[in-house]
A and B are shown apart, each in its own frame.
Chain A
Amino acid sequence: MRILLFTFLYILLSGCAQKPAVSEDMQKIDSPPPVDFSGTWQRNYARDDEVGRALQAAYYELARTTPDRQGAPGGYGSLSQRDADAVVALARLAELITRSDVLTIVQDDHEIRVGREDDFSPVCRFGDGKTVPVSNSAGNEICGWSGTDLVSQLSLADGLRVVHRLTVSEDEEQLRVITTVTSPTSRVPFTLRRFYRKFDQPASGFHCIETLTMKRVCSTREITP
């Protein structure tokens, strides 16, 4: 009976985990966006989650929701190698995705684009009072608002999902990005928090534009294309 109860709870929890992080309601938006994320943000390592600790927390959650042979919540000893490996895989991916030291966010009335180093730029586009999904043959991105938090959900092959939640502090000087990676192959998600400080990039003294046949063209004067 206990086993049945835990099995039921497990199915329920798994179902909850697969609920979209960005609901239909969250995709509705009044223009302009409620928060200004634009600017250059530098990683604040002092506040970042340490991956090892986040992994410990995931193990703990896994152990807590793993029934032992009698059907009671088990300890670390009840974890299978398969479960542990699945969480480690999520952790490695989360670490890779969140490794950028600098985020360059460009925001206007039509979109918010989060530029990262060595990776694509998650984008949140707006049109007709709601956000517009971005997709290609390998997956799709949707975004929305949870209060003043911007939530971006990337859905990939085999149920892999990456959710970023961006929160700006009231003084607009700090940015927190919570990244959660989930997969049907792991019973628990993996979450990492990264913190950033706004900084002004020093002016180089050159104004540059990209062109097609001359590549980058720079001048000490303002260039109006």
Chain B
Amino acid sequence: MIRRLLLAMLLLPAFASAQDGGVALNITIPVFGTGVTDDSSAYAEFGVFPRIRAIEAQFLPFPLRRQLAATGTWGAVRVADDVDAIEELVIHGDILRSDGRGLEVHIRAVDASGDTWLDERFSAAPGSDSARPAYERLFADVVARLEAARQSRSADALARLRDTALLRYGARLAPSTFSQYIETTRDGRTTVRRLPANNDPMLDRIRRIRDAEYVIVDATDEKYELLHADVTTIYGVWREFNRQSLLYEASDERRIANGTVPGERGSYEALLYAYENYKYSRITAEERDDMAVAFDNEVRPIIERLDERLEAYDAWREAKYSEWNRLLEELHDVETRFGE
């Protein structure tokens, strides 16, 4: 039954694909790299809870997407867990540092031809404006740099990227048909050798398959948005607590460095002062650990729902890719034989 539906979808006349004629590039943002290992010893080594970093890696693409979408100059901006996503422009992010002192992210934006638009570190300090958190300011810089990179390219070059992305997508699903149109060098750069005819039925099918995939991704995305809204508030509280905690720690360190030890050397007061300085620093660190656990306790169910959606989408995509791949190769075979 599913096979029949898929076949019908491939053979029915194509609907016009979205944004035909425009140069508003579609963007995919894969889930960010965490920058730490999953090993819990990462906490001892880097002061980072791997679990929380993993949550941040899933959360941070969303505010970036929102800011890109708000400019109105880009096409669809999607978040995916597929790091090998083929899109007109793919934005990879790696979290280098994220704590109460600020956020540092490495951003690399690569287009469908393999051309790198952006390969830089961005950072932002927490600041005093809690309504505009560090990541919002950081991503505003990223968006501005991407916009500048976009404007430095001609409309023709941007339009070519759309063709390149579509042909690469086609070559993944129907290599027998589409590999002839593109050439990929060892350094990952892809050029279009020639274009198929605009009314090429295989190209039409590929467009429809990709649009179908977009429908699924966008539906999943809507769910993400709702989950993202839940996480935003909790993440804001977490970042603010972290910021306050580190400020307190810094002021405590200054007090210890500049403070006068009470009583005579060796007196109970002097010993107690030394002990309590250590004790309260440790208690501050323990409270931060407890807050990290509390953050994880609250966000984990939301993230797990998100993961389930991602897994369901992945399973769907994998199954459909292999099915489409087989059907398209069969069609290619049939059509080639007719041609002969």
**A132: chain B residues within 8 A (beta carbon):** 44
**B274: chain A residues within 8 A (beta carbon):** 138-139, 156-158, 160
Residues 118-158 of A, flagged 1 when their CB comes within 8 A of B and 0 if not, give 01110001011000101011110000000000000010111
The tally of residues in A whose CB lies under 8 Å from a CB in B reads 39
In the bound complex, CA of A162 to CA of B275 (Å): 9
A213 touches B237 (CB 8 A): yes
Residues 257-273 of B, flagged 1 when their CB comes within 8 A of A and 0 if not, give 10001000111101110
Interface of B, helix, strand, loop or mixed by DSSP: helix
B279 at the interface (CB under 8 A from A): yes
**CB-CB under 8 A for A139 and B40, given A90-B271, A120-B286, A185-B266:** no
In the bound complex, CA of A127 to CA of B268 (Å): 36
**B297: chain A residues within 8 A (beta carbon):** 209-211, 225
Tell me which of A10-18, A47-55, A56-64, A91-99 binds B.
A91-99
**B282: chain A residues within 8 A (beta carbon):** 120-121, 134, 136
The tally of residues in B whose CB lies under 8 Å from a CB in A reads 41
**B233: chain A residues within 8 A (beta carbon):** 213
In the bound complex, CA of A185 to CA of B300 (Å): 51
Residues 37-60 of B, flagged 1 when their CB comes within 8 A of A and 0 if not, give 000110011000000000000000
**A46: chain B residues within 8 A (beta carbon):** none
In the bound complex, CA of A89 to CA of B275 (Å): 12
Q: Which of A97, A119, A121, A183 contacts B266 (CB 8 A)?
A: A183
A207 at the interface (CB under 8 A from B): no
**A106: chain B residues within 8 A (beta carbon):** none
B277 at the interface (CB under 8 A from A): yes
B272 touches A96 (CB 8 A): yes
**B272: chain A residues within 8 A (beta carbon):** 92-93, 96
**B293: chain A residues within 8 A (beta carbon):** 210
B281 touches A136 (CB 8 A): yes
B253 at the interface (CB under 8 A from A): yes
**CB-CB under 8 A for A138 and B281, given A93-B271, A110-B40:** yes
Interface of A, helix, strand, loop or mixed by DSSP: mixed
B253 touches A137 (CB 8 A): yes
A85 at the interface (CB under 8 A from B): yes
List B residues 210-258 near A (Cβ within 8 Å): 233-234, 237-238, 241, 252-253, 256-257
In the bound complex, CA of A225 to CA of B295 (Å): 10
**B285: chain A residues within 8 A (beta carbon):** 136
A214 touches B298 (CB 8 A): yes
**A203: chain B residues within 8 A (beta carbon):** none
A167 at the interface (CB under 8 A from B): no
Residues 60-99 of A, flagged 1 when their CB comes within 8 A of B and 0 if not, give 0000000000000000000000000110111011001100
B294 touches A138 (CB 8 A): no
**B119: chain A residues within 8 A (beta carbon):** none
Kindly name the residue among A158, A186, A212, A214 whose own CB sees the greatest number of chain B CB atoms within 10 A: A212
In the bound complex, CA of A119 to CA of B281 (Å): 11
B316 at the interface (CB under 8 A from A): no
In the bound complex, CA of A88 to CA of B233 (Å): 52
In the bound complex, CA of A137 to CA of B291 (Å): 22
Q: Which of B267, B271, B277, B298 contacts A212 (CB 8 A)?
A: B298
Q: What's the minimum C-beta distance from A55 to chain B, rounded to whole angstroms?
A: 13
B81 at the interface (CB under 8 A from A): no
In the bound complex, CA of A97 to CA of B282 (Å): 14
**CB-CB under 8 A for A119 and B265, given A90-B271, A212-B241, A225-B300:** no
Q: Which of B256, B267, B279 contacts A89 (CB 8 A)?
A: B267
**B296: chain A residues within 8 A (beta carbon):** 225
Q: What's the minimum C-beta distance from A166 to chain B, rounded to whole angstroms?
A: 18
B271 touches A89 (CB 8 A): yes
Q: Which of A85, A134, A210 contacts B290 (CB 8 A)?
A: A210
Sample of 24 A–B contacts (CB below 8 Å): A85-B266, A88-B268, A89-B266, A90-B271, A93-B271, A97-B275, A119-B279, A120-B279, A127-B45, A136-B281, A136-B282, A137-B252, A138-B274, A139-B274, A157-B261, A157-B277, A181-B271, A183-B266, A183-B271, A209-B297, A212-B298, A213-B233, A213-B237, A213-B298
Q: Which residues of B contact A (CB under 8 A)?
A: 40-41, 44-45, 233-234, 237-238, 241, 252-253, 256-257, 261, 265-268, 270-272, 274-275, 277-279, 281-283, 285-286, 290-291, 293-298, 300-301
Which 5 residue pairs across A and B have the least CB separation, nearest first? Answer: A185-B266, A120-B282, A138-B277, A225-B297, A138-B278
